[in-house]
Amino acid sequence: MDAPGGERADLLDSLRKHRALFLGTVAGLSDEQARLTPTASELCLGGLVKHVAATEGEWARFVVDGPAPQPDVDWDSIDWSDPPQAVLDRQDEFRLLEHETLAGVVALYERTALATDDLVASVDLDARQPLPDAPWFEAGASWTARRVFLHLVAETSQHAGHADVLRESIDGRRSMG
């Protein structure tokens, strides 16, 4: 396939730039360092990579297939002392579990990114899908593929900032400055 131009090239360039900044925050870390939660939050670098990979994959599937079934969770009345399995699974998405490695989640993210890049290069950017029924989305709203890819740029960029703070807290290394 020829390299995309115009809008597609801009989307790909932005995604790749922010992915590189994000992945730069985990360069040279051990699995143990990638599991550290050095700030007031419960975020760790390995978990962030895992989350961003999962989220990008979910949005790419959304572009092609529309909304996935959502877990049956009443988000307003969760008993946090005994949350449902869907909530526990979501929490684990933000952790690098003992059986996982940083290299493994980085490889997953890189495969996911390549698949998304192929999608950006080929999909109708005006194709529209209804957003899932969830409390964080406007009821009845839909997004174009273009809007999804812009959201991925924003999501990746935001998490690159989180990751930068975590990395600086671990060993003082910063991606900029």
pLDDT in tens, 48-75: 999 999 999 999 999 999 998 776 767 6
- Give the chain's mean pLDDT: 91
Instruction: Map out the domains of the chain as residue ranges.
Output: 16-68+83-171
30-54 tens-digit pLDDT: 999 999 999 998 899 999 999 999 9
Buried b (16+ CB within 10 A) or exposed e, 116-129: bbebbeebeeeeeb
Cα 165 from Cα 65, distance rounded (Å): 35
Among 174, 160, 177, 166, smallest CA distance to 21 is for 160
Q: Is the full-model pTM beyond 0.85?
A: yes
Domain 16-68+83-171 in CATH 1.20.120.450? The answer is yes
70-90 tens-digit pLDDT: 767 676 777 777 777 777 777
